């Protein structure tokens, strides 16, 4: 999936918020011993960049894509922050995209802001601590693209190379 867009987000309606995404599936390329020694069928590579400008202040992050799963015109991905002035390096961010169709705009969701809250998880000052997104976990695409767009290229998840074939079923 590829593209760049400016979104309209209800919580920051007058802000300039942009996401640039270039991601491709690379199944079984990120080994995770002992559970998944070959990696996962959702392994991916690519980049995620976002910026959020309000007046003279801009927050931004660059992240490396580690997971991508698609279904039709919808994609969900995660990326691990490498550089940012608002996110901790190593934080995993979740993004979802729905490519619009028949004159409808694309949509995008992200794993911070109004979602991914654990009310029991607070810091010493009583402030909510945002949990990290799990691999390929993101909310539904809840914002609207107002400029630019995304192209989702669907690919089926492939079978693990070490999973045995199921035994034939005899009736």
Is 67 within 8 Å of 40 (Cβ atoms)?
yes
Parts of the chain with a pLDDT under 70: 163-167, 169-171
Provide the whole-model pTM.
0.86
pLDDT of residue 167: 64
Is 94 within 8 Å of 116 (Cβ atoms)?
yes
pLDDT of residue 127: 82
DSSP-derived 3-state class of residue 163: coil
Nearest to 42 by CA among 62, 70, 20: 70
């Amino acid at each position: 999936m590829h593209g760049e867009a400016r979104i309209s987000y209800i919580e920051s309606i007058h802000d300039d918020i942009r996401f640039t995404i270039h991601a491709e599936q690379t199944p079984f390329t990120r080994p995770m011993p002992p559970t998944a020694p070959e990696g996962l069928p959702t392994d991916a590579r690519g980049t995620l960049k976002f910026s959020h400008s309000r007046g003279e202040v801009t927050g931004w992050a660059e992240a490396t894509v580690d997971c991508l799963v698609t279904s039709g015109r919808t994609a969900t991905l995660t990326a691990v922050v490498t550089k940012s002035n608002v996110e901790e390096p190593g934080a995993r961010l979740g993004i979802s995209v729905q490519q619009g169709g028949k004159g409808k705009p694309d949509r995008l969701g992200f794993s911070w802001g109004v979602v991914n809250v654990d009310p029991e998880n607070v810091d010493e000052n009583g402030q909510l601590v945002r949990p990290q997104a799990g691999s390929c976990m993101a909310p539904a695409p809840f914002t609207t693209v107002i400029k630019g767009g995304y192209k989702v290229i669907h690919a089926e998840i492939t079978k693990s190379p070490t999973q045995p074939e199921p035994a034939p079923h005899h009736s």
